[in-house]
């Protein structure tokens, strides 16, 4: 009975030992195996069998990309401004053996290396340059950390500055500066808008005056053309009348009668003494039309050779 129990216990121990020696490595993981305290192999994902008692798993390493959000570090800029900067480091483990044996507590070592590197970079920059050069700082940090951690089996893929926290008095001064810059831009924009408005108004007035002058000129030209056409029509009518008289072959008596009509228009019904040639008065007397045709109060014959006396009104 006792022997049977012993056999059963032995079988259970053997089964337990065999099962404990079977290991399944998950995807994106690696196991570092030691043989009697020395590195022997690195197991990739899959099924593996470990030799009992002489082999052990020295480390289980994740091959995924990892993110470390480190605590803020106090740094001093080139112009002696103390501020806090916290960074985020992205890295992957490309060699589990170096990661296990290259450095003690690799993440802590990476954090300290990150802090010292950040101080060195920021120490060569002024405050304004630090605030506006995040990309430059990130790339320099990534390059330096990646080269320094190759011996640890770590590949630094990216470094980001999470926060840059300057002192309170610097923040207040920066806010005042930003406010002054915004007010300056606003003043410049208002002045530019006013200038454009004045220029546009002046251009409008100029165009209005030009159009008014052109309209006045066109009106004067049209008026002058109208007057010229009117005068031309009057002279044309007179010329046509003279031509008609010429074509009608009128005698001398008719022409003299027309002259009397002209004298009537000159006298205009006023008591005016008019001196006429003797030959014209003779014609009028022979026609008996002195009073009817001319309406003249008196017609005194004059001698053409004698000088006329002055007319008294």
Domain boundaries, the chain: 2-62, 66-166, 185-249, 252-302
**Predicted confidence (pLDDT) at residue 227 exceeds the cutoff of 60:** yes
Gap between the Cα atoms of 291 and 312, Å rounded: 22
Identify whether the C-beta of residue 34 lies closer than 8 Å to the C-beta of residue 55: yes
Comparison of pLDDT for 289 and 37, the residue scoring more? 37
**Predicted confidence (pLDDT) at residue 196 exceeds the cutoff of 50:** yes
Would you say the C-alpha torsion 280, 286, 287, 291 has a positive or negative sign?
positive
Token duo for residue 213 = 């002058």
Mean pLDDT of 205-209: 89
Mean pLDDT of 216-233: 88
| pLDDT (0 to 100) of residue 251 | 60
**Predicted confidence (pLDDT) at residue 79 exceeds the cutoff of 90:** no
* DSSP state at residue 310: P
Query: Where in the chain does DSSP place strands (E)?
Result: 22-25, 29-35, 38-43, 46-49, 55-62, 66-69, 73-76, 82-93, 154-165, 274-277, 299-302
Q: Which of 15-29, 163-177, 273-287 has the highest mean pLDDT?
A: 15-29
**Predicted confidence (pLDDT) at residue 162 exceeds the cutoff of 50:** yes
Three-class SS state of 166: coil
Closest CA to 153 of 97, 110, 89, 195: 97
Cα separation values, 58 from 47, 120, 151, Å: 17, 36, 19
* DSSP state at residue 291: I
| pLDDT (0 to 100) of residue 289 | 44
**Predicted confidence (pLDDT) at residue 130 exceeds the cutoff of 70:** yes
Phi and psi, residue 31, nearest 5°: -110, 135
Tell me the CA end-to-end span of the chain in Å, nearest whole number: 185
| pLDDT (0 to 100) of residue 174 | 74
**pLDDT single digits (tens) 244-303:** 766 766 566 666 666 666 666 655 555 555 555 555 555 555 544 444 444 444 444 444
Q: What percentage of the chain has pLDDT greater than the value 90? A: 26
**pLDDT single digits (tens) 83-119:** 899 899 999 999 999 999 988 899 999 999 999 999 9
| pLDDT (0 to 100) of residue 312 | 42
For the chain, helix, strand, coil in percent to 5 are 55, 20, 20
Q: What percentage of the chain has pLDDT greater than the value 70? A: 78
**Residue keyed to tokens 């990646």:** 146
Identify whether the C-beta of residue 33 lies closer than 8 Å to the C-beta of residue 52: no
Instruction: State the architecture of 66-166 in CATH terms.
Output: 2-Layer Sandwich (3.30)
Phi and psi, residue 15, nearest 5°: -65, -40
HSE (CB half, 13 Å, CA atoms) of 156? 27
Gap between the Cα atoms of 153 and 101, Å rounded: 9
**Axis crossing angle, helix 134-148 with helix 106-122, rounded to the nearest 10:** 140
Gap between the Cα atoms of 278 and 260, Å rounded: 14
Q: Does the global pTM surpass 0.75?
A: no
């Amino acid at each position: 009975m006792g022997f049977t129990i012993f056999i059963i216990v032995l079988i259970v121990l053997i089964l337990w030992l065999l099962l404990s020696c079977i290991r399944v490595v998950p995807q994106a993981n690696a196991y570092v195996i030691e043989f009697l305290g020395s590195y022997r192999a690195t197991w990739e994902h899959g099924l593996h069998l470990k030799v009992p008692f002489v082999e052990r798993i020295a480390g289980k390493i994740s091959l995924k990309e990892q993110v470390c959000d480190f605590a803020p570090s106090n740094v001093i800029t080139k112009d002696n401004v103390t501020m806090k900067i916290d960074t985020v480091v992205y890295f992957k483990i490309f060699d589990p053996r170096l990661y296990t044996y290259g450095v003690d507590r690799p993440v802590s070592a990476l954090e300290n290396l990150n802090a010292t590197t950040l101080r060195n970079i920021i120490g060569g920059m002024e405050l304004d340059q630090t605030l506006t050069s995040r990309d430059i700082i990130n790339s320099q940090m990534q390059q330096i950390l990646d080269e320094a951690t190759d011996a640890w089996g770590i590949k630094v893929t990216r470094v980001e500055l999470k926060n840059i926290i300057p002192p309170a008095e610097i923040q207040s001064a920066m806010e005042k500066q930003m406010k002054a810059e915004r007010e300056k831009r606003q003043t410049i924009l208002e002045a530019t808008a006013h200038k454009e408005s004045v220029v546009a108004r002046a251009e409008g007035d100029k165009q209005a005056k030009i159009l008014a002058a052109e309209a006045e000129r066109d009106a004067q030209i049209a008026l002058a053309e109208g007057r010229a056409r009117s005068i031309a029509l009057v002279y044309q009518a007179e010329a046509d009348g003279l031509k008609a008289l010429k074509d009608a072959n009128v005698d001398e008596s008719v022409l003299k009668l027309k002259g009397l009509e002209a004298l009537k228009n000159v006298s205009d019904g006023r008591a005016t003494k008019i001196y006429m040639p003797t030959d014209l008065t003779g014609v009028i007397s022979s026609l008996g039309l002195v009073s009817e045709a001319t309406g003249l109060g008196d017609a005194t014959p004059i001698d053409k050779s004698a000088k006329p006396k002055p007319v008294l009104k």
